[in-house]
Amino acid sequence: MNRNSLAVGLPSRRRPRPFSLVVFGASGDLASRKLYPAFFSLFREGNLDDWSLIGFGRRPWSDDDFRAEIDKALGPSKPTDLERRDFLSPCSYTTGEIEDPASYQRLSRTLKNDRDVIFYLAVPPEQYRPIVEQLGLAGLARKGADPKGPQTRIVVEKPFGRSGEEAAELNLFLAQRFDEDSIYRIDHYLGKETVQNIAVFRFANEIFEPIWNSRYISHVEITVAETVGVERRAPYYERSGALRDMVQNHLFQLLALTAMEVPASFSADAVRDEKVKVFRALRPITEDQMADRTVRARYKAGFLEGQFVPGYLEEPGVSPDSKTETYVAMKLFIDSWRWAGVPFIIRTGKRMSRRVSEIAVHFKKPPLELFPQGWSGSNQLVFRIQPDEGLTLYLNTKIPGLTDRSRMVSMDFLYGTGFGAPSPEAYERLLLDVLIGDGTLYTRRDEVSASWAFIDPIRAAWDEGLVPLYEYEAGRSGPVEANKLPQSFSARWRRL
């Protein structure tokens, strides 16, 4: 039941059919920090009617123990006593081992056959296969179910494989037990309001779409900078690095939404058809271009917000001879009619000077500089994804006075003030979509394959040492070596 969700935003009421949401990893950090608060928000806003929430995990909890854990996670939401009672009463818990068939039989007895079932795998990636296998053996996958009857869906968190080969194997494994339109590969960046607004801004405003091409745009810059380090995620991060953790999914999704063609409609498959075309049009980076078009680095000790922070090699759980990158920058080209010759520069890193995620579209200079003494720069359109979601358009304007001097001024729009209400949290939107059965904001199988096809050769070249591993001081904007990417076409990064 696909809706035009990307185009029309989040209506005040989008109610799913009766359903049961089963959370694997019910006692984990992801469930407590993101899923339960988001689910409660949907409940509080009136988007849920007939439902149940079932936790599955190894801890020997009773239903009341599970409800107490959920209640603890809802603290910042400040539920009333009535809300707490009504929300917690449909919640229950099943104790089980992920590879124990009897555990899934117990789970099966808690599920009703006349409602949709959504399995959310809030677990480490190595547990995906045994859970999916046991769901299939227990008859809970419902592959090939009548589209008019109760449906079963499964939500898989990133990382979806560590390479194209692993992703293909996992896709095949899932496809043997679930229909493709029942598999929801989540990327929480796609739930952010500004990300969803990219398509609306482009395709619902005629003044911008005609100039959204190589004739008017000089280059596009995508930044996802974090101030945090690896924290307690060193075992995962050592196997992943910034390229797999951020570029292959988050940054590439932002790239696709910025560069895609107008879809035939805003149904899930029509939008994803256009996104995958972007990935397939990415110009491959050859081995002899790797050092010029890609940069990798890791943070060393430094000061961030007035506090001393250790370097990556000093983080608990990091190998002293680690070669893992915490920063990635690239210069990319999309070989399509619209984008021929336009550089896309992307960067992401940890322990950077500021937390910011944005897409900056840089427009070309005027063909004739009529105000050479006063001109202060090219126009820019910036989509701010975090921390302050909104849009900024930078324009040149004359400074009042008797000279011809000008300066850049900004026209700002903030979601928080523009609509008088805070934007829904990303997981809230994505949860509602999977409950309804709308896959527009989820990643399709061929998207995953196409993005890995571009990333795998880069990863291989880095592993062979074809690109040096630079360092940058924590609290800075990244390695100075990354400046060569915009400098190659007479530009520079936006200041963090």
If we measure between CA atoms, which residue out of 89, 149, 87, 144 comes closest to residue 113?
149
Amino acid at 97: E
Q: Which of the residues 188, 219, 250, 362 is marked catalytic?
A: 250
Task: Let me know: does 212 contact 202? Beta carbons within 8 Å.
Answer: yes
Q: Is 362 a catalytic residue?
A: no
DSSP state for residue 212 in the 8-state scheme: -
**Residue 301 CB: number of other CB atoms within 10 A?**
15
| Token pair in block for residue 85 | 């009672």
* Residues recorded for the chain: 496
Sheet holding 19-24, edge to edge: 91-95, 51-57, 19-24, 116-121, 152-156, 183-185
Residue 348, φ and ψ in degrees, nearest 5: -150, 145
Lookup result for tokens 């984008």: 339
- Give the three-class secondary structure for 218: strand
Nearest 5°: the CA angle 309, 313, 317 is 100
If we measure between CA atoms, which residue out of 3, 2, 14, 1 comes closest to residue 424?
14
What is the H or E stretch that residue 436 is in?
helix 426-436
Side-chain half-sphere exposure of 374, counting CA atoms within 13 A: 16
Residue 465, φ and ψ in degrees, nearest 5: 80, 20
Who contacts 318 (Cβ-Cβ below 8 Å, separation ≥6)? 230, 234, 237, 238, 312, 324
Task: Let me know: does 473 contact 300? Beta carbons within 8 Å.
Answer: yes
Who contacts 341 (Cβ-Cβ below 8 Å, separation ≥6)? 214, 333
Residues 219 and 362: their CA atoms lie apart, in Å, by 5
Catalytic positions are 250
